[in-house]
Structure 1
Amino acid sequence: MLPRRIPSLRRLYTTATQPPPTAPKPVINLKQIRAAPEYHAQNCVDRNYAAVSAYPTRIVGLYDEWAGLQRALRGERERLNAISADLRRAVKEEKEALICEAQALRGKISGVEERERCLEKEMKELAIALPNTTHSEAPVGSEPRMLGYINEACAPKEDADKVVKGHIQIGAELKLLDFADAGAVSGWGWYYLLNEAVLLEQALVNYSLSLAMKNGWHLVAPPSIIYSHMASACGFRPRDQNGEQQIYTLNDGKHALAGTAEIPLAAMHANKTFAMEDLPMKVVGVGRAYRAEAGSRGVDSKGLYRVHEFTKVELFAWVPPPAEESHDASAAATEGEPASAPAKQHPTADDVFIEMLELQKTFLTSLGLYARILEMPTTDLGASASRKIDIEAYMPSRAKKDPWGEVSSLSNCTDYQSRRLNTKLKLEGGSGKKTVFPYTLNGTACAVPRVMIAILENGWCEERQGVVVPEVLRPFMGGIDFIGRKKESFPMCS
């Protein structure tokens, strides 16, 4: 008997685009927006989201209309309640008139309530489209602020005679990279890793995972296909504000390929509630990242720097919100309730942010890479990040124009993602019924292709015609300490 035909991805999913009933219901802080519409409007402009800068004022107008309808119906609702009470003691002759009046009131109330629901829906949709608030450390504008350097002793010295080779040339000469065949198979932005490059990729993954694990981070291997609504909740939309495609959407419209492990990691606790003792929860995930990179072709897109698919190790954490944000919610105890014991001091978002940055610095320092640390400006912040730090490594082949290439980033997303994913935190003390939304942080542990660029170009030894492997990676590569020219060519078909 022949096996049943395996369905294609297109047939595997339905054509419906509505999210399933299990999709998280966003809980947006409309009160915060209404309290400071001018700030939120300017925040949109500062962050390159001018197209939605009118939304905060619109939300205020919609709320005023909604509140007016609420006030206008107060009399009708009170009268309807009174009729319900009158019906219980009315005589038969009076009931008919009361029932008719009640029906008329219900019809009027129902029509107004439908309008109220429309207003609530529009306010929510407008609020969801707004970017996160901006951290005070983020420079306003388009210029980043320098925070410091990594491995300054490794800074290149001026040498006019030094031979500089780019990773594309090195990859070809040492038979490590194949862009031509990948272009024929998959198109621009795809590649084959060959020989020691395969080991180097796995070494970078395993070393970054082991480093994070030794520092208390829990390992996760997340899925690469996610619901589109989960990606949107994390701040990744199929198209950016300029209409450029960001991530690959599957034919059903309901699913997408994850642009980063951040998305499935954030979503793994959607619709769940943490206990205070659970936090901070710190995970490190490894997976394949898929980027459409539409409109991104240029000098930065050559070779491995900007590709459609790559391996990435990602740090992700949930932490309690600042004490001032949970103060009102935690005051659940009544006056007669005995005082609870002092709350346990948990690491703050800033504490975990610094911890993640130190891990990134340790990783790049141990690889011997010269890099710089930047506080990114408002125009470079995505929808979800309140604050973002980038680390850029020195890449010799780019020295004539701009020698720095981003190899990692670190973001504090405050409660932007947890509110959209309905991830909550149950507070300690009081009645124990109050919840808030935890802060989420994410950071790159290792973006393999870009780190590989830096290792190949900085590790190139012209005298030996090969690349010196960083010492910390050698145990993960079977002891290989140098990648040289091959005596035999990579097996190919003629």
Structure 2
Amino acid sequence: MLASVLSSRAFSSAPERGPSNTTSLPKPRLDYRDISENVVLKSHNAFNRKAALPVGAVQTVARLYDEQKELSQMLNTKRHARTAVGDRIRSLAKDPQRKQAALDEAKALKAEILELEDRATHLEEELHALALAIPNDTHPAVPIGPESVAVTLSTHGPELIPASPARDHVAICRALDLIDLEAGATVAGSSWYYLKNEGALLELALVNYALSTAMKHGFTPITTPDVVRSDIARRCGFQPRDPVDGTASQTYHLMHTADPAAAENHNHPELVLAGTAEIPLAGMFANRIFAANELPLKVVGLGHAFRAEAGARGADTRGLYRVHQFTKLELFALSEEEKSGEMMEEMRKLQTEIFEGLGLSFRVLEMPTEELGASAYRKYDAEAWMPGRGSWGEISSTSNCTDYQARRLHIRYRRPATTSSPSPADGAQSALPFVHTLNGTAAAVPRLIVALVENGAVFNDAGDVTGLRLPKALQPFWVGGNARGLIEWV
């Protein structure tokens, strides 16, 4: 049965590739024209999102783009003149004096062209660096402002359990011997942990439950590398700085040698630990061209997420809520540009099904501009009620990145041929539209454990924790039985 499910949903492992045959990708293909024609809109959008742009960056892109067009025209004129002089030189073989004058003219033109080409190279570098930092556009429905202005789109699940320190997941997990934070700190430092006994089994059950649900909705399972090139992470729009402490990196960087000076002498790509499986999943399709009938392409990737995340966050740093490494199941999709809105709603419904199956009390939020990050056009967050923390806690997000990532990773598709659509005479690759990419969390395991433990803890009359009530949806994916008698399926 599983084989037939997989075969009907699997995608081609070798879709058409772009023109490059190397492992390095071409430069991101940014739309300078769109930026220069929408300076006010792009500037306001960057301001609303609190993007880290130099003052006047969007206006500078527009100015440099105009300069680039003028410089290109000048170069074309000079190159045309050089060709004409070359033709003249060949026709003056019997007139040494006029031929020499033409040779001198050709030499002068060559010097002028070299100077213009050098200017063009530097101009393109400056233009590209500025345009690369401009964030994606924003959906009109997105509220403007900080996290506090997020709009609740829907609420789900049972009535909220009153907040209580007795339901703190750290205390419960310690009492039931499900977690070892002290050993994690000894081995790796603070915010690293061991899951034990039913805690480890709960992680496995959550992954397989969410994976099974995603597969029923046509998502192909993938296991991803935990290490990616830093260039791939940047192209996906992941910012290298911590949002609380702007001087601290969110990313773990890998070195090929303990000696930094020696590392500079090796031709190794800069590698980082992936902050989410979204990055290797997006990179998996880099520099590829898909047929329209292959879209939407939907995958669900299992990987580990690594977050350095320095900065004081109070209760967020306690226990499993904000940790340096966690297992994460990620939904990822490629769609035609006109259909990414539909795909986003499909992913939202799938996440809702997963969390409702877990019996959680949760809400879905439309996140405001300052919470979008560079790549997201629109983002939904799901937050579960965590009575031990006494607050809602984020358990998932869903983002439509439109063509932001695809332009940087060169992921395109061919529209179906129609009698009304012109076909480029030379089959130019630039005529191909970019796909839209979307991502969403199927299961961020530690956050789900926090929610399930704090809502499902069972206490005796003395107030001591004696076990856990867990949703029956997880029972088919549970291994190892219930030897200690702690689990009650509800």
Per the shorter chain, which TM-score range? 0.7 to 0.9
**1:128 partnered with 2:132:** yes
Q: Residue 427 of structure 1: CA displacement?
A: 2.2
CA distance in structure 2 between the partners assigned to 1:31 and 1:65 by the alignment = 12
CA distance in structure 1 between the partners assigned to 2:192 and 2:181 by the alignment = 7
Q: TM-score, normalised by structure 1?
A: 0.84
CA distance in structure 1 between the partners assigned to 2:225 and 2:271 by the alignment = 12
CA distance in structure 2 between the partners assigned to 1:232 and 1:483 by the alignment = 47
Query: Counterpart of 1:3?
Result: none
Helix, strand or coil for the counterpart of 2:326? strand
| Aligned with residue 294 of structure 1, among 293, 302, 310 | 310
CA distance in structure 1 between the partners assigned to 2:23 and 2:125 by the alignment = 17
Query: Counterpart of 1:334?
Result: none
Give deviations 1:412-466, integer Å, cap 9, x for gaps.
0000000001111122214373301000000000000000000011011113721
Contact 2:242 2:310 (8 Å CA) reproduced: no
Matches within 5 A, 1:45-194: 45-73=47-75, 75-90=77-92, 91-93=94-96, 94-142=98-146, 143-151=149-157, 154-156=158-160, 164-194=166-196
CA distance in structure 1 between the partners assigned to 2:486 and 2:102 by the alignment = 96
Letter in 1 for 2:470: V
CA distance in structure 1 between the partners assigned to 2:336 and 2:41 by the alignment = 25
Query: Counterpart of 1:409?
Result: 397
Q: Residue 240 of structure 1: CA displacement?
A: 4.8
Letter in 2 for 1:30: Y
Contact 2:75 2:117 (8 Å CA) reproduced: no
Helix, strand or coil for the counterpart of 1:111? helix
| Aligned with residue 272 of structure 1, among 267, 288, 294 | 288
Contact 1:163 1:462 (8 Å CA) reproduced: no
Give the 3 Å change call, closer, same or farther, for CA 183–135 of structure 1 in structure 2. Answer: same
CA distance in structure 2 between the partners assigned to 1:73 and 1:203 by the alignment = 63
Query: Counterpart of 2:455?
Result: 458
Q: Residue 484 of structure 1: CA displacement?
A: 5.3
Give the 3 Å change call, closer, same or farther, for CA 424–469 of structure 1 in structure 2. Answer: same
Letter in 1 for 2:150: P
CA distance in structure 2 between the partners assigned to 1:313 and 1:275 by the alignment = 27
Q: Residue 397 of structure 1: CA displacement?
A: 1.0
Give the 3 Å change call, closer, same or farther, for CA 283–73 of structure 1 in structure 2. Answer: closer
Give the 3 Å change call, closer, same or farther, for CA 417–157 of structure 1 in structure 2. Answer: closer
Percent pairwise identity: 43
Q: Residue 478 of structure 1: CA displacement?
A: 3.5
Give the 3 Å change call, closer, same or farther, for CA 173–158 of structure 1 in structure 2. Answer: closer
| Aligned with residue 273 of structure 2, among 257, 279, 295 | 257
Query: Counterpart of 2:248?
Result: 244
Give deviations 1:318-351, integer Å, cap 9, x for gaps.
00112xxxxxxxxxxxxxxxxxxxxxxxxx1111
**1:419 partnered with 2:404:** no
Contact 1:318 1:440 (8 Å CA) reproduced: yes
Letter in 2 for 1:121: E
Query: Counterpart of 1:207?
Result: 209
Give deviations 1:369-409, integer Å, cap 9, x for gaps.
0001100000011111110000000000122xxx1000000
CA distance in structure 2 between the partners assigned to 1:309 and 1:262 by the alignment = 15
Contact 1:271 1:423 (8 Å CA) reproduced: yes
CA distance in structure 2 between the partners assigned to 1:21 and 1:173 by the alignment = 50
CA distance in structure 1 between the partners assigned to 2:341 and 2:81 by the alignment = 53
Q: Residue 38 of structure 1: CA displacement?
A: 1.6
Q: Residue 85 of structure 1: CA displacement?
A: 2.2
CA distance in structure 1 between the partners assigned to 2:24 and 2:296 by the alignment = 26
Query: Counterpart of 1:436?
Result: 433
| Aligned with residue 37 of structure 2, among 35, 38, 58 | 35
CA distance in structure 2 between the partners assigned to 1:279 and 1:309 by the alignment = 32
Give the 3 Å change call, closer, same or farther, for CA 482–390 of structure 1 in structure 2. Answer: farther
Q: TM-score, normalised by structure 2?
A: 0.85
Query: Counterpart of 2:443?
Result: 446
Query: Counterpart of 1:333?
Result: none
Q: Residue 88 of structure 1: CA displacement?
A: 2.7
Letter in 2 for 1:146: T
Letter in 2 for 1:438: V
Gaps of 5+ in 2: 1-21, 257-268
Contact 2:165 2:388 (8 Å CA) reproduced: no
Give the total of aligned pairs. 435
| Aligned with residue 384 of structure 1, among 356, 375, 378 | 375
* Range moving further from structure 2, 87-96 or 236-245: 236-245
Q: Residue 40 of structure 1: CA displacement?
A: 1.2
CA RMSD of aligned residues (A): 2.1
Contact 1:24 1:270 (8 Å CA) reproduced: no
CA distance in structure 1 between the partners assigned to 2:199 and 2:482 by the alignment = 13
**1:469 partnered with 2:461:** no
Helix, strand or coil for the counterpart of 1:51? coil
Give the 3 Å change call, closer, same or farther, for CA 75–182 of structure 1 in structure 2. Answer: closer
Q: Residue 352 of structure 1: CA displacement?
A: 1.0
Query: Counterpart of 1:285?
Result: 301
Q: Residue 474 of structure 1: CA displacement?
A: 1.0
CA distance in structure 1 between the partners assigned to 2:90 and 2:442 by the alignment = 69
Gaps of 5+ in 1: 1-19, 323-347, 487-494
Query: Counterpart of 1:307?
Result: 323
Q: Residue 200 of structure 1: CA displacement?
A: 0.4
Helix, strand or coil for the counterpart of 1:311? strand
